Amino acid sequence: MKSKKDTSPVRSRDKVLQSLYEIEISGSDVRDILKDLSLQSKYPHFKDLLNGVISSKEAIDETLSNFMERSLPSLDPIERNTLRLAAYEMLFTDTDAPIIINESIRLTKKYGSVDGHKYVNAVLDKMYKSNFQKI
């Protein structure tokens, strides 16, 4: 099996977004989701990303609010959680912001509303160009 360093987080992001949606919509518990060890073996970045977003949610939401004209609760759950995942990666990881933004657009086009990717792109681009401070 490849080490985490040798794998891309692309598919892990899909599963994290799906899990964040599940937690928000159905009230699932993150511990129950993490009990599925097959997710962690198939998607090596899954656990770190999911736990990171969940544990840093307040800081992420506060940061995002500085770059949005709308409130987070008013957004579609897919766009909201895509923004949270992207903001987590931008704030807490060494992944390049353009990669994160492109991945967020991909996720939103795949799972979100018709033009949701445009808003996600605008918010993340604004955040990136602001020279935000990593946490």
Residues 15-74 pLDDT 10s? 999 999 999 999 999 999 999 888 888 999 999 999 999 999 999 999 999 999 999 999
Q: What is the pTM of this model?
A: 0.92
CA nearest 98: which of 67, 65, 127? 127
CA nearest 132: which of 88, 102, 85, 99? 88
Q: What is the pLDDT of residue 1?
A: 45
Residues near 61 by beta carbon (within 8 Å), at least 6 away in sequence: 72, 84
Give the CA radius of gyration of the chain.
14
CATH topology classification for 8-129: N-utilizing Substance Protein B Homolog; Chain A (1.10.940)
pLDDT above 60: residue 86: yes
Confidence of residue 96 (pLDDT cuts 50, 70, 90): very high
86, 104 Cβ separation under 8 angstroms: yes
